[in-house]
Amino acid sequence: MTSSERPSLRGRKDETTKSAAFFDLDRTLIAGSSAFEFGRASYEAGLLSRRQLARDALANLRFRLRGSTDEATEALRERIYTSIAGRRVVELQRLMPRVLAGILPRLYPRMLDIAYEHQDAGRPVYIVTAASQEMAELLAHVLVFDGGIGARSEIEDGRYTGRPEGPFTYREGKAQAIRALAEREGLDLAASYAYSDSESDLPMLRAVGHPVAVNPDAELLRVARREGWEILRFERLGRRMKTAAAVAAMAAVGGVGREVAARRR
């Protein structure tokens, strides 16, 4: 089912069960990577070099075009933990207004509509992301979601140690997190929804009864089509770049043709 065929979720409340809706963040709720916006805010605050910011910008472009990979995600995780080790928690909290200023314009309006439709139907709505717990909670608060689940960092004496606290909310870690939440809150995952763009989130998508692929990468698109899952598309960067490349190629061919004709004359 495509976005144009999607029925409204309003009025779908099931009085016999308590369900929820879980939303991945990057390329699902927003275009691109929240980690890049965190990096840009860190650079503006003097906490990140220009070279690293350029590397983050390239990684963000690749992510928007192709989706995530385990290698890139693990490398980013290690770099972030290393960069925050020894820093005061309040330092990073002060970055959040700048981070939000970059993230909020990247929100997909239709995804917000869908989230609010779930709430209006009686389902609590959660962000589930490999980004930090602080990011997940703050964004959930700003968007009026019911909660955020992210990666936790160990804190001692008001400073980050550079070590994780608890499981990493990636791949099976996301599924574990929503199962734990479902047990605490008495949620029926079989009646719940999950939205993501990435094959890496298949464990979370398969943990619920209503998985939805949003801007899916190639592998998730293959699985979604095979399983008959709903598919939503909002990311247009790849299509824009393909169009630009085609126009450039046509211009180049036209230029070559003119040059050949000139030589013949």
Which residue in the block uniquely carries the two structure tokens 């472009």? 61
Would you say how long the chain is, in residues?
A: 265
Main-chain dihedrals φ then ψ at residue 12, nearest 5 degrees = -90, 20
The vertex-159 CA angle with 156 and 164, nearest 5°, equals 70
Per the residue annotation, which of 24, 56, 197, 201 is the catalytic one?
Answer: 24
Catalytic position from the list 26, 56, 201, 217: 26
DSSP string for 8-42: P-TT---TT----EEE--BTTTBSS-HHHHHHHHH
Contacts of 265 (CB under 8 A, 6+ apart): none
Q: How far apart are CA 232 and CA 245, in angstroms?
A: 25
Query: 26 an active-site residue?
Result: yes
Q: What is the DSSP letter of 185?
A: H
Q: How would you label 216-226 residue by residue, b for 16+ Cβ within 10 Å and e otherwise?
A: bbeebbebbee
Quick one: tokens of 91? 């330092």
Closest alpha carbon to 63 in 102, 30, 92: 30
- Closest by CA to 33, choosing from 68, 2, 5, 81, is 68
Catalytic residues: 24, 26
